[in-house]
Every structure is written in structure tokens, then in C-alpha cells.
Amino acid sequence: MSVSWRQKSFISLALMPGEMRFRMFLRSAANGRTVSSETLQIAIGTLHLFRESMDPAILAAAYDKTQDPVLLRLLSQEDVPAAQWIVTDKFKAGGYTPGFESDAGMLALNDPTMIALLKKSAENPDMNVRLGANWALYRATSNQAYLDFVISVANEGAGLGPKTGSLSPWTGLDALQYLEVIDSPVAARALRDIADAGKKAPNSEMFAGAFASLFFVQRDYDYVDQTLLSFMHGELDGHNIDGNMMFEIAAARNTPELAAAAQARSQDAYERNFIRMRGYAVENIAIRYMTTAIPKDVLARLPRRP
């Protein structure tokens, strides 16, 4: 997945000092009615990775004053009591709030009232609502049946498994985004299948998301290394795979075999990624290739550059 000018601007924004970054974010993205959902997702996902200096109390106060849904989404990614309280209180007070399933899943909220609300959403006729509810229920309960539902939708979106005919073009990608941040052997197997299918697909977005998760979240280094070597040896040429991503992840792995293969493939790309970018934090790479915001508990387990 290539990095757009908008995403680059938000990455730069995320690297600014905390208070300045927060004020600029409010000025540029807090009004959800005038900024596209794609832009907001990029901003939220980027800031999520660099939130150490963000004070959840400030977010909570800003949300209390503005009731801005973007700030509620940011709060849902802060795994602290104040954030959990305001998010949970919002959902319970308002009954059904559109999109609350994803926010509940980010926090892995598992109190009985929230579980009951999510189970009700899991029966909603809207596939996107059911999908978010099943992901949130798996995050809260670790019940395999909920994960199986997410995998089935992701598989259909990737062209695997039976076609129901009811899936929108974006729902399969949404399912993949949920699957990307589930750290389990079952999720890893599903992601390998999706990545393998994505290698052959004209649109490589499914491959990029699945492959990035296999490195960043699943830490399936055998699969990752073999796929990287196949790319470096030219075996995946013509499959619309993002070469920048492959070189960056290869440099993050930085094994002697991958380094030699990368240098043979492209001296320029090798020098840029293996030499000049040495010491570049792995989580900074993740923001460009993970296609979703990462829950804090998953973020804490991201690999570190050797």
C-alpha cells in the first residue's frame, strides 16, 4: 500500500511535540463533517502509534465539550480507566450508537452490559455491524466462534471460500482489518491463506494488510522470510506487490540471507533501507502498512528492530 501525500503529512504531524500535535490535530481533523473518513482513519491510526505524550484527560475534556465523534474514536484507543469510563458510559446511555462495536473492540470491553449490547449487534441484519460486533466479542471473550465469523467474511472478501452474494466490496477489507490485529495461531493461518491469494490478485491491498500483520502482529517469521526471499528473487514480479513494503520489512528482519538477496535485487533500495534507515523504529513502519488502528495491548507486542 503506497503512502499518500495525506498520510505523509499526518506521519509528520505525529512526530511533533505532544501539545502542538494535539492542537494541530484538533484544528485539522476534529470536525468529522468536513474531513473525509479516510483522512480521519489515517490521522487516528497515525496518532495512535505516537500517543505516549497525549493526555487522555485532555481528550476526555475535549470530547465532553464538543461531543465530537472523532475524539470519541481517539478515546476508544486509550486503554486507561478515564477513557474506558467515558466510552462505556456513552454507549450505555445512548443504547445503540452507530460504530460502537469497533470502539468496544479496541478497548476489549467485557462487562456484562457491554457483552449484551454486542450480542444484540451480532444479530443485526447489517453485515458491517455484525462484523464489528463479532470482532469485539472475540476481543472480550476469546470465544473461537466469533473469530471464525470474522475469518469467514475476510476469506470471502479475498476470494476464498463460498460466496454469499451479500458482501459489499469494502466489507471483506473491513474484516481483514479486524483480523490483522488478532494475535492467535488461527488468525495467522487465515492471514497466510489471504496473503497467498493476494499474491496472485490484481489488487494487492489484501496481500499488503495480511502480510504486514504476519510480520508485525503474528510474528510468523518463517512465512515472512520465505515470501520476502521469493520477492527478492523475482518470483513475485508482475503481481502488483508493494516493493517499498517488502524492502522495509526485509530491513526490519535484517537476516544475512535477506540482506544479501535485497542487495542483489536493488543496490539503491538496499542502501536506503538496510543502511540509511538502520535504527528506524519498526512501529514507524507499521503505520504505513497496517490498514487499521492497532489496539494498545497489541501495539505493546510489536517487534523491535534487531
Q: What is the DSSP string of 164-226?
A: -S---TTHHHHHHHHHHT--SHHHHHHHHHHHHHHHHSS--HHHHHHHHHHHHTS--HHHHHH
Question: Within a 13 Å sphere around the CA of 262, how many CA atoms are in the beta-carbon half?
Answer: 29
**Nearest residue to 205 (alpha-carbon basis) of 154, 134, 273, 153:** 154
Whether residue 63 is found in the same domain as residue 107: no
pLDDT of residue 26: 52
* pLDDT tens track for 55-79: 666 666 666 666 665 566 566 655 5
- Output the pTM of the full model: 0.73
Residues of the chain with pLDDT under 50: 1-3, 14-19, 22, 29-35, 50-53, 95-96, 306
Domain range enclosing 18: 1-78
Return the pLDDT at 30.
45
Radius of gyration, alpha carbons of the chain:
20
Note whether 200 and 249 are same-domain residues: yes
Residues 289 and 224 in one domain: yes
164 and 217 housed in the same domain: no
Asked whether residue 171 falls in the same domain as residue 252, the answer is: no
SS3 248: helix
Shared domain for 211 and 198, answered yes or no, is yes
Residue 88 lies in a domain: no
CA 155 – CA 157 distance, rounded (Å): 5
